[in-house]
Amino acid sequence: MEFYFYSPTKIYFGQGVRKKAGKAAVSMGKKCLIVRTPFKDRGREKYFEEITASLKENDIQYAIFDQVKPNPTTDMVNSGIGVARKEKVDFIIGYGGGSSLDTAKAIALFTKNEALSWEECFQRFSDPFANNAEAAEMLPVIAITTTSGTGSQVTQAAVITDSESNDKMTIFHPDLIPEIGLIDPELMLTVPKRATAITGFDVLSHAMESYLNPRASNLTKSLSLQAIEMIVDALPELLNDLQNMELRKKLAYADTVAGICLSNAGAEAPHPIGEIINGYYPDLAHGETLAFVYPTYFDYVSGIAPEKMSELLIIFKNYVPKNSERFGEKAAGTLINFLKAIELDASLYTLEMPESIAEAIRKKLVFNLPLTNAENLQKIFNESLQQKN
């Protein structure tokens, strides 16, 4: 019963909370940088204007950095840092999905630490549970998430691709956890079907990996299971009714809860494998690369955590194959059936990955995780390459 739990984000959750952005931010300063992607549709612009109106009503000035793209790079973040320093902002607002929030966090870190290099950052801040609170100052961050996906609004992580090496790296620092998270399910209504599926599976991955991780406490395990049950129940239904606000609320809630669990218990094998694959295939969404390796991972983890897997299969009961003899085969088949239900069942095999890239990925899978050592990381990757679903 001994555990450590930390979740300092002040969360505003509910339909319409975006309009409270200015009031929530008044204690942070008089000027902010808003970090986001370029807008492609009027729906998102309308919501954004309500947020900036709230800032104006509370006498908060703002500048905008709208050059974020999926899988943000160090070059992209450097551009944002330049804007933040030029505008002399007091805090950062990240508005969007995981890419925008992670970019906002990284900008907040580097703006206050001019002597910090990316190389030093990736080396010093590579442990999600290290006590780095005194290692670097940061500008405060407000996270306004527009997807139910990454949980970045409540985690100490920012995933950034090194522009020189194309390696997808994760920075961990306790002050990367946003001071405020505004989770407004209405902002998710504009997310299209496939993106809803991809980000929803990312949420499910956070909940499952934090549950399976040996670092999980009784508190995080119960919250993880709550999120898993909610996602398995709501996500397939949401994909057939994208404007269903109640289902959007469930996914937004699960995203936040799963993110809190992830920040306290940690990820497992699918995340680092998926992120390394992403470094070579940057056009793929993070949730897609997770889906590539999850069936094989379910097979693997069934042999070392059978009680936890049995608990998961109860939640996935509608997707369990009837004719599987081996327990691991049943677990893998269950995950494949769920991925088919959310139309995310493409396999790593279909990428036709050149052996040169496969070997480069294997050479990077040389670390140990609480549940999966380097040998098994490589085994999961190799077997996923052969998995045709």
φ, ψ at 222 (rounded to 5°): -65, -40
- The reported pLDDT for the residue numbered 60 is 98
Least confident of 2-6, 125-129, 211-215: 2-6
What was the pLDDT predicted at 41? 65
Are residues 38 and 95 in contact, defined by beta-carbon separation less than 8 angstroms?
Answer: no
Q: Kind of pairing, strands 168-172 and 91-96?
A: unpaired
pLDDT computed for residue 248 by the predictor: 98
Exposed, middle or buried: residue 6 (CB in 10 Å: 0-12, 13-18, 19+)? exposed
Q: What is the largest CA-CA distance in the chain?
A: 65
| Burial (0-12, 13-18, 19+ Cβ within 10 Å), 158 | buried
**3-state helix, strand and coil shares in percent for the chain, rounded to the nearest 5:** 55, 10, 35
Between CA 207 and CA 111 the distance in angstroms is 32
CA 331 to each of CA 296, 327, 328: distance values in angstroms, whole numbers, following the listed order:
9, 6, 5
Give the bridge partners for 168, in sequence order: 161
- Please tell me the pTM assigned to this model: 0.94
Architecture of the CATH domain 10-187: 3-Layer(aba) Sandwich (3.40)
Residue 147 has pLDDT above 80, yes or no: yes
Alpha-carbon torsion, ordered 75, 81, 83, 87, to 10 deg: 180
Task: Write the single-letter amino acid at 5.
Answer: F
Banded pLDDT at 324 (limits 50, 70, 90): confident
Give the start-to-end residue ranges of the domains of the chain.
10-187, 191-386
Annotation: CATH topology of 191-386: Dehydroquinate synthase-like, alpha domain (1.20.1090)
289, exposed or middle or buried, with CB in 10 Å at 0-12, 13-18, 19+? buried
Percent of the chain at pLDDT above 90?
Answer: 90
The partner residues of 142 in beta bridges, in order of sequence, read 93, 180
Q: Tell me the mean pLDDT in the region 249-276.
A: 97
3-class secondary structure per residue, 193-214? HHHHHHHHHHHHHHHHHHHHCC
Does 42 score more than 70 pLDDT? no
